[in-house]
Chain A
C-alpha cells in the first residue's frame, strides 16, 4: 500500500495524521508545491500585524515527519495524473505510483489583470512567501497601502497593515464589506468600527490601473482620482488549483466534486480542502466552502476512508470569524434572505443593542422552523451552539426558537429536554 497526498496544508496535514492512525506500516508520501513544512495560511495576517513571529506559523514540531514516518517532497508541481496506471507526474519529469491518492492542493489567489498589476509592490496574500515579501516592503518603510477587495483576506490584511502603522485605504466594488460573510447591517457595524480606528473605505469603487514605472506610486480609480500608494494588496478571492486536472476525467464544477466519502468519481482518488466541491448543508447544492475547519474535517475523513474506513462527511458549511480592534463577528450558513420572493417560507429575526459602546447584533435566518444561518456581531459566545443547530437542520418548536435569542447556554440546556 502506498498513500500519496498532494498538498501539506490543512486538508493534507489532517489526512496524513489520520492515515497514520489507521495504518502504521504503509508508505505515505506527501508532495507539495511549496518549500515549507505545514504552516497555517490563516495566520499570515497575524504575522503581518506583528502579533506573532513567522516561526509561529508552523503547525507541527520539527520532528513531525519523522515521528509519523512520512516522506515529504517539497517543490513538486504536479502536471499529470493517470488514473489507469495509478501514477502522478511532476513538471520536472518525476513519477510516483499510488494505491490511494488524495488531492489537497488547495486554491490560489486571483490576480488582477490591469495596467500596473505586475509592479513589484503589488501582492496577493495566500502563502508564507507572499507574507514575507509584503513584510520586506513594510520593513523598507512603506507608508501608504491600498487594498483592493473587501473580503476576509483583504480586511484582515488591511487591519494588519494599519496595526503596523500604515495609512490604509480599502477599495470595494460592491456596496458593502465582507459581502460573502455578513449581511448589510453587520457589515456597516464592522465598517464603522474599522473607520473609527483609522481605516478608510471607498465603496462602489472600481480600480482602473496601478500607476508607477518601476515601483508602485498610486492607484487610479474610476472617478479619475489617483490614490498614493507604496503597497497594493489584491484580495479578489481564490480559485481551486484545477489547472492540470481538467483533462483527467474528473467530475468538476468550481472544484473537484466529491461524494459523502470524499472520493472523486475516479477510483482510488479522493479530494479535500479548498480544491474540493462538497455538498453544502444549507444551500443544498455542491459548493466550494474554502475555510480552515471545512478543510481539516474533510482531510481527516478522506484519510480515514482511504484506509478502508466508512466515514460519512455530512457536508460543508460556510462559516467565518473575524475580530478587528476588539469587535468580533461570526457568521454561518445563509446570511442574507433570498432576493426572489416566494422561495419558501423565509424569515429573519434581527436584534441590535449597544452595551458599553459595543454593538451587539444578531440576525438569525429561518426557513420555516429550521435555522439556516446567522450573523453575530459583538457577542459571539453563543455561536457554536447556533452553528450546531444549522448543521443539524432540525426543526425547532416555538419555545426552542425563543431560546436561540437567549444568553449563553440556555439553548443547550433547552435542547436537552
Chain B
C-alpha cells in the first residue's frame, strides 16, 4: 500500500501542505471560497519544527491503532475496503479519547463541530493526497515504502559518485 512519506531534510516549513490539506477538506475545494466558509475547514497535517528540523506530520495509519481502541463511539474504525483508519463523522461525539492516545498528536479537534479530524488520505479527492501535490520541494511523496527506500539509496549512491 502506498504511504505518505517525507524527506524531512528538504522541508522548508512553508506550510503549503497545511493549506492544501485544509482546502481539500473544505466544501468548495477552492482556497478563495474556503476561507469564507461558515465552518472553516480543518487541516489534518502539521508542519512541526524544533528550530533546526522541519517535519510534516500526519496520521501514520498505525497497525496497533490506539485511536481505534480508544474510540468509545465506534466512529474511529478500519475501513475494510481501503485498509485505512477513518473517522465516521456521524458517529463521533467529540469525547477526544483518540486525541488522548494518538502517540503522534495528529488527530485534531474541529472547533466548529467539536468533532475530530485526521488525515483521510483525501478520500474526497479519490485518494490523491493534496499535501503531496502541493509540496514545492517534493518533501512529501505518496509511494510504496520499498520504493521510497530504494530512491533513498539511489540518492546516496549518486552523492557517493563524486567521492570515489
Contacts and interface: CB of A to CB of B under 8 A. Distances in A.
A14 B64 CA distance: 13
A308 B118 CA distance: 34
Interface SS of chain A: helix, strand, loop or mixed?
A: helix
Given A381-B105, A412-B105, A293 B70 contact: yes
A154 interface: no
A409 B46 contact: yes
A65 interface: no
A10 B54 CA distance: 39
Contact of B101 (A46, A293, A328): A293
B74 interface: yes
A382 B105 contact: yes
B109 interface: yes
Interface string A64-80: 00000000000000000
A330 interface: yes
B123 interface: no
Interface in A229-258: none
A413 B70 contact: no
Nearest to A386: B105
Contact of B48 (A292, A383, A412, A417): A412
Interface string A281-292: 000000000001
B124 to A, nearest CB: 23
B107 A384 contact: yes
Contacts of B91: 56
Interface in B73-108: 73-74, 91, 93-97, 99-108
Interface string A30-43: 00000000001011
Interface residues of A, number: 40
Contact of B74 (A59, A385, A414): A59
A321 interface: yes
B66 interface: yes
B87 to A, nearest CB: 15
A296 interface: yes
A323 B49 contact: no
B101 A387 contact: yes
A159 B48 CA distance: 36
Contacts of A293: 66, 69-70, 97, 100-101
A385 B105 contact: yes
A388 interface: yes
A304 B101 CA distance: 22
Contacts of A409: 46, 48, 55, 57, 105-106
Given A52-B93, A330-B96, A384 B101 contact: yes
A413 B103 contact: no
A51 interface: yes
Contacts of A414: 50
Given A381-B108, A383-B100, A384-B103, A416 B55 contact: yes
Contacts of B4: none
A403 interface: yes
Given A321-B96, A403-B50, A416-B55, A408 B69 contact: no
Interface string A314-328: 000001010100001
B149 interface: no
A43 B73 contact: yes
A129 interface: no
Contact of A40 (B50, B53, B74): B74
A414 B55 CA distance: 10
B104 A384 contact: yes
Contacts of B53: 413, 416-417
Contacts of A394: none
A165 to B, nearest CB: 20
B135 interface: no
A414 B51 CA distance: 10
Contacts of B19: none
B104 A412 contact: yes
Given A40-B74, A292-B70, A380 B57 contact: no
Contacts of A59: 73-74
A-B pairs with the 7 shortest C-beta distances?
A409-B48, A388-B103, A384-B102, A293-B70, A42-B72, A59-B74, A296-B69
14 contacts: A40-B73, A43-B73, A293-B66, A297-B66, A321-B96, A321-B97, A332-B100, A383-B99, A410-B49, A410-B50, A412-B48, A413-B49, A414-B50, A416-B55
Given A319-B100, A328-B96, A332-B100, 9 more contacts: A42-B95, A60-B74, A321-B95, A321-B96, A380-B96, A383-B105, A384-B66, A408-B105, A412-B55
Interface of A: 10, 14, 40, 42-43, 46, 51-52, 56, 59-60, 292-293, 296-297, 300, 319, 321, 323, 328, 330, 332, 380-385, 387-388, 403, 408-414, 416-417
